[in-house]
Amino acid sequence: MVESLKFWRHKRTADYNYFDYIRVSTLELIVHELKNKNVGGEMAELGVYKGKFARYFNAYFPDKKLFLFDTFRGFDNRNRSTELSNEYSSTWQDFADTTIDQVLNSMPHPGKCIVRKGLFPETAGGLEETFCLVSLDCDLYEPIYDGLKYFYPRLVKNGYILIHDFNNDSYKGVRAAVEKFCEEENINVVPLADVCGTCIITR
Ligand SMILES: C[S@@+](CC[C@H](N)C(=O)[O-])C[C@H]1O[C@@H](n2cnc3c(N)ncnc32)[C@H](O)[C@@H]1O
């Protein structure tokens, strides 16, 4: 079998109550590319909640730092007002039932995790790192736009930014933020057919 096709045969242990096949297998393919090309740079997720997606990053790359950005108290009212006034989302979901300890205890390599608790982008100061793999899964217009502004210039060549909910009608601010940013930077996205409509930006 062609080496790269071995990917399709291996047994997966993903939690399919929480993730769908396309999301998880696309991440696996991206990890394969990053490892094959030995891409440098660290990893980050903005919008961690209980760490279920970030856990994969930490498991796949035990030697890379993983920056975890979240309020760990759910959505902040400063972001909520923009959502409501633009009718992007109702912000009804509550992501407050998590703790940093719970997230770190779920990680296979917690020593590589750096937690940045609070409202992004206020929590992004003072980092020198560049990034090869970033997940923006914070649902709302403002942090998605701020996340792109922050991480895209710090994305290494051959790196990836995954933006969850791009094609999700329940969170219309995500698409609005991505489209604004892409227009400004003259870049494009690859939309995925996963359940919540992730899109991908690469360099
Ligand atoms: C859908 S959840 C993330 C799900 C997570 N990626 C997973 O694997 O299950 C969205 C998260 O974004 C966080 N969030 C939203 N706006 C934020 C902001 N401005 N700063 C920091 N965290 C934010 C919320 O606290 C919430 O935990």
> What is the 9 CA–ligand 1 centroid distance (Å)?
33
- Is residue 101's pLDDT more than 70? yes
Cα 17 to averaged position of ligand 1 atoms, centre (Å)? 19
- Is the Cα torsion angle 99, 101, 102, 108 positive or negative in sign? positive
The domain covering 15-202 belongs, at the CATH homologous superfamily level, to Vaccinia Virus protein VP39 (3.40.50.150)
* Contact 74 CB / ligand 1 (< 6 Å): yes
Is the CB–ligand 1 distance for residue 48 below 6 Å?
yes
To test ligand 1's pocket by mutation, which of 48, 81, 83 has the most ligand atoms within 8 angstroms of CB?
48
- Write down the domain spans for the chain: 15-202
pLDDT band at 146 (very low <50, low <70, confident <90, very high): very high
What is the atom index within ligand 1 of the atom nearest the CA of 53? 8
Q: How confident is the model at residue 70 (pLDDT cuts 50, 70, 90)?
A: very high
Residue with CA at minimum distance from ligand 1 atom 9:
52
Pairwise pLDDT comparison (138 vs 94), residue with the higher score: 138
- Residue 91 beta carbon below 6 angstroms from any ligand 1 atom: no
pTM, full prediction: 0.95
The tokens describing 132, both together, are 């090869």
Mean pLDDT of 166-185: 98
**Which range has the worst mean pLDDT, 1-10, 28-37, 113-122, 152-161?**
1-10
Distance 99 CA to ligand 1 centre (A): 12
Q: Are strands 199-202 and 155-163 parallel, antiparallel or unpaired?
A: antiparallel
Task: Please give the pLDDT value at position 56.
Answer: 96
Sequence letter at residue 34: L
Residue 161 half-sphere exposure, CB side, CA atoms within 13 Å?
29
Closest residue by Cα to residue 48 from 178, 139, 141, 148: 139
| Vertex 167: Cα angle to 153 and 67 (nearest 5) | 40
